[in-house]
Structure 1
């Protein structure tokens, strides 16, 4: 099986690659060729199955050589983070919108030549829902993006679903929340505070949080996120609804609850609060979210808040599957 991962050098992508090499998609060893694409890689993968290409996925000269032969599965993770895309709108449009649409079109044309549709798992975002959220949300909640990043993701979902309807692609889109705990060098993410709380608590350092203790958000660890991406790739077509979009289950928790769990794990640390209205509005007023279609399809959250802490900081499983995760 030939598999392509865009954004393969990033926080999510690098761990996904390790899982693919370890356990495959349907079974261990079924990934015979793993094509990795990102702007840069920290270190080369010492595995004969791996081909790494450093470059911009939205550039034909970077992408076309990787698609000279048909690919079976694609994980499209590459994008410009939302805050950065908002600050650099032309570049955000080029990468997140036109680059994604060009990738899908290139894969669809490949299907016409080789007679089979690639399975495409698209990392969409809860940013498609916007900021004016209802008191609770489910699979029927309307997408009303308030940032360019959310618009780009929503259009990507629609176009992927349309190529799927026409039989040229086999698309599956996941609306992912902010994933924790990103490394400190991460930038451009408006939800960065969600990870910074974990990292500073682990080191018992002082932290000033840009949202209030009562701020509520949707939480998911990197390991759980990868569980859900792989599950999307493994679903048979008979298990998919027409829209091919799911919002995986999340833990809906306040910042205060997260801090309490971190104190239980690491001991007390100094935390202050200086709420920034823009950040609290976008990332601190998220209501309960239950996508029943996602739950019925087998997508999962981290389980409990204490499991989230362990999973987010990879204190036990080191990014490998955890049997404790549940709906």
Structure 2
């Protein structure tokens, strides 16, 4: 089994790499080859068993960038590479090139090589929704993104659906909830604050929240997202129905409830480290994302979410012993 991961240098790509190596197999076959690609060379993991690992730096928007990557005819492709929400909003051309054009080139490259059985799994986002919405959404809710990032992801969803309908690839789109708690430092994603208002106080640092305490988010832990990505390769094509994109089973939580959990786990001192400083740009993007979903399709296909928000904080603290 040959697996390709784009965006492999990111925190999600690195976690997925380790999960796949630990499993040692995929779709009933031993994992024999793993190709990792990102803008900068991904860290080279320690191989477990006889797995040939290639790490490479590549700009996926350049002409011919996919040729060498698809030459080995990977049977599963995890397409995680993307320009995040705020950056895509700030630079339309960059977002289009990375989020849409590179995905189109990937699909066309698979088509040209006759890779109809290759499972292409793309990470999409809650940002594909927006505008006037029902109180609770489901997989049949119309996509009305209110950001360039959401629009680019929605276009990719339709493109993957069409290539799959034609039998050119075996596509799957997993709409990811907001991932909390991300490790590392804040990035350009509009949702970055959702991790920093927990991660920094638990590490004894101050944090700023740019949105109101009443804002609701649909969230999922990094561990459960990685489990979902691994499971996505195993789901039978004939069980996916007539549309290949759906929302993963996150949980709904308000910012205030997130801070309540922070206080339960880190004490009043941790909560006091969070201050509120409204940011209209961030709020405009994040408040357009819905916070409540019915995820019947994901549930029926065996995808599993977190039990509650305290479990998400507990998982972070267990993984990062310095957090207190």
Give TM-score scaled by structure 2 length: 0.90
Give the structure 2 partner of residue 280 of structure 1: 283
Distance 2:192 2:235 in 1: 31
Aligned length: 314
Q: Which deviates more, 267-276 or 161-170?
A: 267-276
| TM alignment of 1:1-327, pairs within 5 A | 1-26=1-26, 30-41=30-41, 43-47=43-47, 48-111=51-114, 116-268=116-268, 269=270, 270=272, 271-284=274-287, 286-311=290-315, 313=316, 315-316=318-319
The change in CA–CA distance for 1:182 and 1:256 in structure 2 (over 3 A counts) is same
- Deviation, 1:295, is 1.5
- Deviation, 1:93, is 1.1
Distance 2:206 2:68 in 1: 48
Give the structure 2 partner of residue 321 of structure 1: none
Deviations 1:163-209 (A, max 9, x none): 11111100110111221222343422011110101212212333231
- Deviation, 1:58, is 2.7
Deviations 1:91-147 (A, max 9, x none): 1111111111011110122226xxx42111111111110254332211221100111
Task: Say which SS state the counterpart of residue 208 (structure 1) adopts.
Answer: strand
Q: Which deviates more, 297-306 or 12-21?
A: 297-306
The change in CA–CA distance for 1:303 and 1:41 in structure 2 (over 3 A counts) is farther
Distance 2:113 2:161 in 1: 17
Distance 1:317 1:120 in 2: 32
Distance 1:276 1:5 in 2: 34
Distance 1:45 1:128 in 2: 33
The change in CA–CA distance for 1:126 and 1:239 in structure 2 (over 3 A counts) is same
Distance 1:240 1:214 in 2: 35
Distance 2:13 2:241 in 1: 26
Distance 1:314 1:131 in 2: 36
- Deviation, 1:54, is 0.8
Q: Which deviates more, 98-107 or 291-300?
A: 291-300
Distance 2:131 2:86 in 1: 14
CA contact (8 A) 2:186 2:193 kept: no
Structure 1 stretches of 4+ with a deviation exceeding 4 A read: none
When the two chains are superposed, the root-mean-square deviation of aligned CA atoms in Å is 2.1
Distance 1:193 1:118 in 2: 36
The change in CA–CA distance for 1:314 and 1:66 in structure 2 (over 3 A counts) is farther
Q: Which deviates more, 39-48 or 186-195?
A: 39-48
Q: Which deviates more, 181-190 or 13-22?
A: 181-190
Task: Say which SS state the counterpart of residue 77 (structure 2) adopts.
Answer: strand
Task: Say which SS state the counterpart of residue 219 (structure 2) adopts.
Answer: strand
Give TM-score scaled by structure 1 length: 0.89
Structure 1: segments with no counterpart, 5+ residues: 319-327
Q: Which deviates more, 277-286 or 170-179?
A: 277-286
